Amino acid sequence: FLFSDQYFVKANSRIPAYRRSTLLLSFIFRIMKKLIFALLIVVTGLSSFAQVKKVIADKIVGVVGDKIIMKSDVINALLDAQRQGQPLPDNADCLLMDQILTQKALVLQAEIDSLQVSDEELEGLRDNRVRYFINAYGSKEALEQISGRTVYQIKEDFRTSVKETKQAELMRNKI
C-alpha cells in the first residue's frame, strides 16, 4: 500500500505507476519537512539551555581625573613584586591600588602644573630599564625569548609607565 494525501492506494490499483511514485515522493517530502522543523525546534530549545560563561577581558577599578586604573594594572604590579622577591602582606592588592591611585593623582597634578619630561630623558630611562632586564635574564636574546617580544616592543611597552613614574617623581619633589 502507498500513502496518498488522504487515502490508501493499492499498488495494483488503477492509478498509473508514475502517479503512485509522485504521491509517494510528495508524502516523503512532507514527512521530511516536518522532521526538519521538529529537529530545528529541538536544537533551538537545547541551545537556549546552554549556559554561556561570561569572560571579562579587563575591568576598571579606579579613576583619577581622566586616568583610569585597570584590574590588570594592579595584578601586573602584584606579579612584578612577586617576581622581584618582595615580601607581600595579605592586603598587597589594596596597598598596590593605593600606590597606583597616588601615582595617578600626582601625574594628573603634574600635567596641570605643566611639569614635562623631555623625550631624551624618557628614552634614557627606558633604555636603563631594558638594560636592567637584559642583565637580569643574562642576554638580549633570553629577554626576547622569555617575553615573546623584541627589545623595541618592550621599550614601547614601558613608554607610558616610565613617563608617569617620572612625572609623579617630579610632582613629589615639587611638593
Taking only the tens place, the pLDDT of each residue in 52-91 is: 666 667 899 999 999 899 998 898 888 888 877 888 888 8
Q: Which three cell numbers stand for residue 56?
A: 571579562
In angstroms, the CA 23 to CA 15 distance is 10
| 158 in Cβ contact with 127 (< 8 Å) | no
| pLDDT attached to residue 6 | 47
Instruction: Say if residue 175's pLDDT is above 70.
Output: yes
| pLDDT attached to residue 14 | 65
Instruction: Say if residue 25's pLDDT is above 70.
Output: yes
Local structure of 8: helix, strand or coil: strand
Instruction: Say if residue 36's pLDDT is above 80.
Output: yes
Q: Which residues contact 111 (CB under 8 A, 6 or more apart)?
A: 167
| 65 in Cβ contact with 56 (< 8 Å) | no
Average pLDDT over residues 20-30: 76
Identify which has the larger pLDDT, 148 or 84. 148
Instruction: Say if residue 113's pLDDT is above 50.
Output: yes
Confidence of residue 10 (pLDDT cuts 50, 70, 90): low
Instruction: Share the mean pLDDT of the chain.
Output: 82
Confidence of residue 29 (pLDDT cuts 50, 70, 90): confident
Identify which has the larger pLDDT, 16 or 37. 37
Instruction: Say if residue 102's pLDDT is above 90.
Output: yes
